[in-house]
Amino acid sequence: MERKLVNTTEMFAKAQAEGYTIGAFNVNNMEALQAVIEACEEEQSPVIIQASTGAIKYAGIEYFMAMMGAALETSTVPIACHLDHGPDLETIKKVIDAGFSSVMIDGSHHPLEENIRVTKEAVEYAHSKGVTIEAELGRLAGVEDDIDVSAEDSSYTDPQEAKRFVEETGCDSLAIAIGTSHGAFKFTTEPQLSFDILAEIRELLPENFPLVLHGASSVYPELVAKCNDNGGAIPPSMGVPNEMLTFAAQNGVCKVNTDTDLRFAMTGGIREVFANSPAEFDPRKYCGPAREAMKAIVKQKIAVFGSANKA
């Protein structure tokens, strides 16, 4: 029987019931996808493979879906294919028609009423195709791919607005803003997340409604150091500590997005080869170590999220 991508309905229900979260890993190329799938297969963890609009433009939708087909053929774990930060209904329709099993419509930059309107439109189309849909309320600061939000323009999710938003849109999951941010430079002092807001949102939403954290990479110091020790120039960076992610996983967050940590792992792996072997020009000799570095990070995240042996 041919394996197929799954949507996130059963994934999230199981995660909520058993108190873990599912890693949603952004990939841009073959090596990144291989790293994520191999790690999840070895740990028997369900996984959400994410592509931003930038990743789709970079790889091409046809190539990307062909790689997803290969991932299904070479693994046994449940895999959802998710659009990260879909900007409009046209993009949502394009990726659903191409075979994505889950999508995000990001109307967070709109006023509440407009966000509700565009999300409802996306929900109607996605549900007609059996695809689950994530929405966002509140704005995360930071820069990543097509996302660029200043600290002044960021805002935490209002719990009362979240209640109304979920009721009126019919979205399947909601990305909330409680202090995380996109990109590498999340905190300048000790990391703080507003878990009181998370608790209030959980209280107001339907029981076990799936919540999502974006901008939740940990920006491990050893990964930054590996880049800088091998010719990089990355300023001091700070991300979300593992213990905060574990707490979120045990308190209603069933999807955590990870992108920056994979970028650091890949870049550090490549830089190390170039620094140690400056005459190297075989892509397999530097993309291979980069793939292994990303795989190690995915396994570490699976341990933090508690999703091992949950496939």
pLDDT in tens, 82-126: 999 999 999 999 999 999 999 999 998 899 999 999 999 999 999
The string over 279-299, giving b where at least 16 C-beta atoms fall within 10 Å of a residue's C-beta and e elsewhere, is eeeeeeebbebbbebbbebbb
CATH number of 9-305: 3.20.20.70
Amino acid 140: pLDDT: 67
Amino acid 191: pLDDT: 75
Amino acid 1: pLDDT: 60
Which regions of the chain are under pLDDT 70? 1, 139-154, 181-189
Cα–Cα distance measured from residue 270 to residue 230, given in angstroms and rounded to the nearest whole number: 9
In this structure, is the dihedral angle defined by the CA atoms of residues 235, 236, 239 and 242, taken in order, positive or negative?
positive
Segments making up each domain of the chain, as ranges: 9-305
Phi, psi angles (nearest 5°) of residue 36: -65, -50
Amino acid 217: pLDDT: 86
What's the token pair of residue 280?
């190297």
What's the token pair of residue 70?
């290969």
User: Which residues are tagged catalytic?
Assistant: 84
pTM of structure: 0.93
Cα–Cα distance measured from residue 218 to residue 198, given in angstroms and rounded to the nearest whole number: 19
